[in-house]
Structures are given as C-alpha cells and as structure tokens.
Amino acid sequence: MDKVDERLISALRHDARASLSDLATQLNLSRTTVRSRIERLQARGDILGFTVVMKEDVLRDPVRGLMLIGIEGRGTNRIVRQLQGLPEVRAIHTTNGRWDLIVEIGTETLEDFDAALSRVRLIEGITTSETNLLLATKKDS
C-alpha cells in the first residue's frame, strides 16, 4: 500500500459514499485510477467492506468509560463470565502490566454508570480498579 492508497482510504473513512468523481477531485487523480485502486484494495483484502454509522449507534451510550481491573488469584475466567452477563459491559479486554482486564462500559446516564461500577466492584476476586470516562472520540474504527 502506497501513500496514494493511504490517502484514498482516509477519504473513504471520512465519507465512504463519496462518488468516484469527488474522490478523484479530492485526491487529484483520474476517476479511472480511483476506481482501479479501490477494486485492487478490495481484491487484496485491504478493504473488507463499507459501512453505515447511524445516529442511534453514536447516541446509544452517551456515558462511556474504561474500567481497569486488578484480579486476585486465578479467578480471571470466572470474573470474565460474570462481566459478560452485565448489560452495560460492551467489551472485555485482557492486558498486560498493572491491570488484568480493561472493561468498556456504556450507559444512558452517569447514575447508571455509577451503578454498573458498583456491581462490578462487588464481584469476588476483583481487588482494585480504576475508571476513566471517555469524553470525546476523535477517531473511531
């Protein structure tokens, strides 16, 4: 992948519905070049598809945060199973370093977020935690 492909992907990430003509103008390329590069990127598997992000997808969790969790002993699998059962938990990541898990939490309100944190902290085997609210997303995959 060269710099032109990277600029093309960046433009598509910004607006995947942009016409070939608009992309060509924006990137200072011919329409044919843009089309062939997109086709090549798809054929190689660099571009797997195009998607739509809807307003309700963004508004689903107005309050979001990351909870870093320290676990005592060997209870990680049990704790992960319990976390998976909580409706506010969006993702669970294992990690290295000081923390054992990073849990993504999303709720409608700060009160709901606080209640979710309280439920997580009550899980036996969780010895310590630290939570960071996500204020703004500058780039999403």
- Sheet of 126-134, strand order: 89-94, 101-107, 63-71, 126-134
- pLDDT tens digit sequence for 101-141: 999 999 999 999 999 999 999 999 999 999 999 998 777 65
**Domain limits at 99?**
56-134
The CATH number of residue 118's host domain is 3.30.70.920
- pLDDT tens digit sequence for 98-108: 999 999 999 99
Position 50 in a domain: no
**Claim to verify: residue 38 and residue 67 sit in the same structural domain:** no
Position 49 in a domain: no
The CATH number of residue 30's host domain is 1.10.10.10
Give the separation between CA 123 and CA 40, rounded to whole angstroms: 50
Name the packing angle between helices 20-27 and 3-14 (round to 10°). 130
- pLDDT tens digit sequence for 25-57: 999 999 999 999 999 999 999 888 887 767 666
